[in-house]
Amino acid sequence: SAGSACTSGTQIGSHVLEAIGANPDSGYLRFSFSRMNTEAEVDKAVAVLEKVLKR
């Protein structure tokens, strides 16, 4: 979707993406981490993302 999780189901775009001049026709991916995540979990997310982007 083009909006935030709290606007899921609506057609309203993200004000943050709009503010940084993001192209509304492009896709964007958001990761949410907390202090409960381990460094290993973050490393795994990065590794998977790198693998997907190489496709």
Positions marked catalytic:
6
Q: Give the burial string for 26-43 (b: 16+ CB within 10 Å, else e).
A: eeeeeeeeeeeeeeeeee
Residue 42 contacts by C-beta under 8 Å, 6 or more apart in sequence? Answer: 33
